[in-house]
Structure 1
Amino acid sequence: MKKNINVLLINGPNLNLLGDREKNIYGDKTLSCLINDLKKRSEILNISLNDIQSNAEHVIIEKIHSAKKEKIDYIIINPAAFTHTSIAIRDALIAVTIPFIEVHISNIYARENFRSHSWLSDISKGVITGLGLDGYFWALETISKRCCV
């Protein structure tokens, strides 16, 4: 039997506003509805999904730091606006050496120019951008196929 995979899902600033915020870009599904759907899919994939959303950079960093002690096998992170600004989150991810997939709901390369640079992409196992909320599900599927076998 395949071992249970422990995955930490991190959602950055303003993603708590999913369903209300710029529906033309982010859709009308709320974050809690998305998390609920992801947890249902995770069960089928034998993944234990832990999640956090924070608008505070230090909270995200502390959660990344604690991931090693919590025996997290993989991280899915949508750093949101921290994508373009946070070297501290980058350093935290490097420090814990837990593989991660970077996810973006919108295509960051098709938006404002300042959004096209990510401080995380080059150290990630992969980047999923512009596929809407489906990107999260693709990340789970990828982890299920590639992790801990």
Structure 2
Amino acid sequence: MHDYLILHGVNLNMFGRRDPAQYGHESLAQINARLEALAAELGVRLDIFQTNHEGEMVERIHAALDDGTRAVVINAGAWTHYSYALMDALAVLHVPVVEVHMSNVHAREAFRHHSVLSSVCAGSIAGFGPLSYELGLRAAHGLAGAAGL
């Protein structure tokens, strides 16, 4: 059992190599290490999952219904803007979901300004680079605690 599920979507395995002006120089492995350190500080366990395949992401979200997940932190990448399949999968969960983005999506191209996932998330954090994930984990931890999960 893991307390919190961290979901990284499409192309996020390219952090550190993809558009450093927007996403910085840290790799996904480095971001995950930061999250693991924060989880240890908070006394929780993480399950970290990344995929470039939408169906695999949906399946992992479905699994969270029965695996003891207390909260979810998700950066869906480009799926954020058009994946109704992910939105529907997240809507089935009965735990807090926090959406995160490394870049400030509101200061970028117009298509990035809208998230189809936001309607099923407790909140969104954007624009703080890798710190967005840490803020998201802290928010998920607070929400899960407040919900008695």
Can you give the 5+ residue segments of structure 1 that lack an aligned partner in the other structure? none
Q: Give identity over the alignment, percent.
A: 35
Amino acid across the alignment from 2:11: N
Q: Counterparts of 2:19 and 2:140 in 1: how far apart (Å)?
A: 29
On the 8 A contact 1:5/1:147 being kept in 2, the answer is no
How many residue pairs get aligned? The number is 146
Residue 12 (1) aligns with residue 12 (2) = no
RMSD of the TM alignment (CA)? 1.4
Unaligned runs of 5+ in 2: none
Counterpart of 1:53? 50
- 2:100 — aligned with what? 103
The partner residue of 1:78 within 71, 75, 84 is 75
Distance in structure 2 (CA, Å) of the matches to 1:5 and 1:70: 8
Q: Which residue of structure 2 lines up, in the alignment, with residue 135 of structure 1?
A: 132
- TM-superposed deviation, 1:96: 2.4
Q: Distance in 1 between matches of 2:27 and 2:73?
A: 18
Contact residue 101 and residue 127 of structure 2 kept, 8 A? yes
Runs of 4+ aligned structure 1 residues displaced above 2 Å come to 143-146
The one of 33, 45, 57 aligned to 1:36: 33
TM-score, normalising length: structure 2: 0.93
1:109 deviates by 1.1
Question: What code does the residue aligned with 2:92 have?
Answer: A
Q: Which residue of 2 aligns with 1:121?
A: 118
1:93 aligns with 2:90: yes
Specify the SS of the correspondent of 1:137: helix
Q: Give the secondary structure class of the aligned counterpart of 1:28.
A: coil
- CA deviation vs aligned residue, 1:70-93 (integer Å, no higher than 9, x gap): 110100000100001100000001
How far the C-alpha of 1:122 sits from its partner, in A, is 1.9
Distance 1:95 1:143 in 2: 17
How high is the TM-score relative to the length of structure 1?
0.93
User: SS where residue 13 of structure 1 aligns?
Assistant: coil
1:103 counterpart SS class: strand
Pairwise CA distance, 1:5: 7.2
